[in-house]
Amino acid sequence: MHYPTPIAKLIESYMKLPGIGAKTAARLAFYTIDMKEDDVTEFAKALISVKRDLHYCDVCGNITESAVCSICQDTSRDKSVVLVVEESKDVMSMEKMREYRGQYHVLHGVLSPMDGTGPDDINITSLIQRLHNDEINEVIIATNATTEGEATAMYLSRLIKPAGIKVTRLAHGLSVGSDIEYADEVTLLKAVEGRREM
C-alpha cells in the first residue's frame, strides 16, 4: 500500500521511536490525522522544546532547563553520597521512591565493547572529577543488572576504590511478589548474594 507522502513520512518518523513497528506507527499516524490541529501543534511544540530547552546538568549530567539541575541545587540533600545511574530516566525512577536524599551522577550509557562504547564515550570523567570533593564518601552504583551494566559497575569500582571512597552496588534479586520457581539462575544467584540477616 502506498500512503500519501505526508502520512508515509509521519509513519517513518514514528517508527524511529523504540518499540514502534510499522503497524503501530501507521495507527499513530492515522490517530494524529484525526487530532485537533491545536493538539497537533502543541505536540509538535513539545517535541521541539525537548530538543531546544533541555540540556545536561553541569554537575551531575541529569536533564535540566538550567545550568545546574534542581537536585544539585537542593542544599538539603546529602552531599556525601552519589548514586550513579545509566540514564536520566533512572533518576526519575529513584526520585519517585522519595527515600533517597543524596546526589546523582548520570553516565548516559554503559560500557559496551560490542557497540564500540568505551570509558571516553560515557560520563565517567566528570564523575571522577566530582570525587575529588572531600564531602563525597560513598558512591552507590545503580547500573542495570545486564552484562554491560555489571561491566560498567566493576570498572567504576576499580577506578573509585583506590581513592578511599566506599563503593556499594544496588541489591539485585527476586522482585517483591515473584515466585522462586519462575526466576532465572542469574536472578536467584543475585538474590542469594544479596541476602541479609533478619
pLDDT band at 2; cut points 50, 70, 90: confident
pLDDT band at 186; cut points 50, 70, 90: confident
Q: Is the pLDDT of residue 197 over 70?
A: no
- CA–CA dist 75, 68 (Å, integer): 13
**Mean pLDDT rounded to a whole number for the chain:** 91
Residue 140, pLDDT score: 93
Q: Is the pLDDT of residue 196 over 90?
A: no
Could you tell me which residue, 11 or 179, shows the higher pLDDT? 11
**Angle at CA 9, nearest 5°, toward 5 and 12?**
140
- CA–CA dist 160, 156 (Å, integer): 6
Residue 58, pLDDT score: 95
Reported pTM: 0.82
Could you tell me which residue, 187 or 93, shows the higher pLDDT? 93
Measure the N-to-C terminal CA separation of the chain; round to a whole number of Å. 63
pLDDT band at 198; cut points 50, 70, 90: low
Q: Looking up cell 526520585, which residue turns up?
A: 95
Q: Looking up cell 552484562, which residue turns up?
A: 147
Residue 168 phi, psi (nearest 5): -125, 165
The residue type of 97 is: M
For residue 76, count other CB atoms closer than 10 A to its CB: 5
Residue 11, pLDDT score: 96
- CA–CA dist 12, 57 (Å, integer): 32
How large is the average pLDDT for residues 55-73? 96
Residue 175, pLDDT score: 75
Residue 172, pLDDT score: 76
Residue 1, pLDDT score: 64
**Angle at CA 44, nearest 5°, toward 42 and 50?**
100
Pull the grid cell for residue 40. 497537533
Instruction: List, edge to edge, every strand of the sheet that includes 78-85.
Output: 102-106, 78-85, 138-141, 166-169
Residue 177, pLDDT score: 73
Residue 69, pLDDT score: 96
Taken in order of first residue, the domains within the chain and their CATH numbers are 5-53 (1.10.8.420), 75-169 (3.40.1360.10)
Residue 179, pLDDT score: 73
- CA–CA dist 33, 35 (Å, integer): 6
Residue 178, pLDDT score: 72
Q: To the nearest whole percent, how much of the chain has pLDDT over 90?
A: 74
